[in-house]
Structure 1
Amino acid sequence: MSFYSVAKNFVVAPVVNTVFRPWVRGLHNIPSEGPAILASNHLSFSDSVFMPVNVPRQVHFMAKDDYWSRQGASGWVMRKFFDLSGQIPMDRSGGKASQHSLNAGEQALRDGGVLGIYPEGTRSPDGRLYRGKLGIARLALNTQAPVIPIALIGTDKVQPIGKNIPRLGRVGMIVGEPMTFESYYANADDRFAQRAVADEIMYRIMRLSGQEYVDVYASDVKRQLEAEKSEAKAARKALRHHSGRRTEDPETD
């Protein structure tokens, strides 16, 4: 029995099923054999725990490569866990590095495996659903594997961004019908075809999850929020400095 099976069936699943009592709909839509891409919304770090617990087959996740570069004892444990559980590091910097990561995911599909991927590329910063990146379309078109849209429900309430310890609460998972894209297979390298496929997948996830859809990349929104936070911090610091000067020298101005 593999590390994945032992960890899932005897450690993770008993805890998750007892504490969080997840509910699942449409599990029969995941094929019992052969390649499949599980395309899910991404609300919480815990998504990568709740989804595979409810899927009978092993799920190889495309996980951001940051998880492999963390330092200290906790970083070592995380790297070992991800490696032993068959997860695939995803370089999101673009270009050849990202393509190398996608090639590893493509190989997992060609080997008949189940690949889990978050098309948004990162967690939603506010609970809304964002534009899907083209990587999932390339995988679907190059391998012709069916895409199974999935909506995770309530994981952001159980473990919001920035919280390390989950809260008590129920989570859910809705599995949609398989999607195939025969009309696009002949144009697998065409970016317009890839965009159409990615948009269709995100539309199906939106219908399942009920989330508001925003046609921009979540990563761009996160960068904007970080910039605004930095500007606000700098403004507060400047205000404190100015207030301090006025206190020290009341004749100023």
Structure 2
Amino acid sequence: MFYWILRHLIAGPLLKSTFRPWVRGVENVPAKGAVILASNHLSVIDSVFLPLVIDRPVSFLAKKEYFTGKGVKGALTREFFKGTGMLPIDRSGGAASDASLKTGLRVLNAGRVLGIYPEGTRSPDARMYRGRTGIARMIMEADENVTVVPVAMVGTEKILPIGSKVPRLIRPGIIFGEPLEFSRFRGLKEDRFLLRSITDEIMSELSALSDQEFRDVYASSVRQQLDRQALESAKR
């Protein structure tokens, strides 16, 4: 709660007056109950702007490495991610993925708002990529019905492109789509085809909202390929 107050009463007004984000459809976010804000992911600052424009506290899932850095830089990074409502998770797979799922479920089962980037990582080129089914698992395994609100971040990759350290003064946009409801599928959480179908429906809504070009591959695979190419080029 301390960080939410800090973000909304101190950092929020400063960021809003500086960047002047435009917002559409915020009335689609329910005032109470378990909600997932399913957003595209263009920049690390998506998690800064999205919570500023709604009245409810938002928790995000973030890789644990953001919280374990050493020295002054590590401490500043840790405090930044705490301040933006991030919860540390282990993304190494297996049992770690189950632990990450449980972290998200604790937020939803408390009737709170959870922010999720279904693509799993930032887009390397401003296109939209295939969604991970973890979001569908959370919807199916939560103790109560979960409302899913698709959210399109617009232009945030231009403010702080991957690799940049100094933000550019560019006005971002945030579009909240019509709520999605999947309670009719409760009890079918073991059906992997259904999990994929739910995830694809969410990604389809996101693609329509954001008007991004869609690629049916994982963003993490593309980023790994780009990293390998950069490494090979550096060796030449």
TM-score range, shorter chain: over 0.9
For the residues of structure 1 that align with 2:87 and 2:178, how far apart are their CA atoms? 25
1:89-104 aligned at under 5 Å gives the runs 89-104=88-103
Structure 1 residues 135 and 231 mapped into 2: Cα distance closer, same or farther (>3 Å)?
A: same
Corresponding letter in the other structure for 2:17: T
Deviations 1:200-223 (A, max 9, x none): 100000000000000000000011
Structure 2 residue runs without a partner (length 5+): none
Structure 1 residues 80 and 20 mapped into 2: Cα distance closer, same or farther (>3 Å)?
A: closer
- Does residue 146 in structure 1 map to residue 147 in structure 2? yes
1:75-114 aligned at under 5 Å gives the runs 75-83=74-82, 86-114=85-113
Measure how far apart 1:168 and its partner are: 0.4
| Higher helix residue share | 1
Any conservation in 2 of the 1:3–1:85 contact (CA below 8 Å)? no
Deviations 1:71-93 (A, max 9, x none): 21121233244346642112221
RMSD over equivalenced CA pairs, Å: 1.4
Corresponding letter in the other structure for 1:36: V
Question: Among the aligned pairs, what percent are the same residue?
Answer: 48
Corresponding letter in the other structure for 2:71: G
Measure how far apart 1:69 and its partner are: 2.0
For the residues of structure 2 that align with 1:156 and 1:228, how far apart are their CA atoms? 22
Measure how far apart 1:64 and its partner are: 1.8
The residue number in structure 1 matching 2:219 is 218
Deviations 1:118-162 (A, max 9, x none): 000100000000000011110111123111100000100111111
**Segment drifting more, 4-13 vs 148-157:** 4-13
Corresponding letter in the other structure for 1:12: A
The residue number in structure 1 matching 2:122 is 123
Measure how far apart 1:231 and its partner are: 1.7
Counterpart of 2:115 in 1: which secondary structure?
strand
Corresponding letter in the other structure for 1:29: N
Q: In the comparison of the two structures, how many residue pairs are matched? A: 234
The residue number in structure 1 matching 2:181 is 180
Measure how far apart 1:4 and its partner are: 2.4
Using the size of structure 1 for normalisation, the TM-score is 0.89
The residue number in structure 1 matching 2:37 is 38
The residue number in structure 1 matching 2:22 is 23
Any conservation in 2 of the 1:21–1:171 contact (CA below 8 Å)? yes
Any conservation in 1 of the 2:7–2:83 contact (CA below 8 Å)? no
Using the size of structure 2 for normalisation, the TM-score is 0.95
For the residues of structure 2 that align with 1:111 and 1:86, how far apart are their CA atoms? 15
For the residues of structure 2 that align with 1:5 and 1:224, how far apart are their CA atoms? 37
For the residues of structure 1 that align with 2:65 and 2:177, how far apart are their CA atoms? 30
For the residues of structure 1 that align with 2:89 and 2:132, how far apart are their CA atoms? 13
Deviations 1:46-98 (A, max 9, x none): 10101001111000011122211222112123324434664211222111101
For the residues of structure 1 that align with 2:185 and 2:203, how far apart are their CA atoms? 17
Corresponding letter in the other structure for 2:94: G
For the residues of structure 2 that align with 1:79 and 1:169, how far apart are their CA atoms? 26
- Does residue 228 in structure 1 map to residue 222 in structure 2? no
**Segment drifting more, 185-194 vs 38-47:** 185-194
The residue number in structure 1 matching 2:12 is 13
Structure with bigger gyration radius: 1
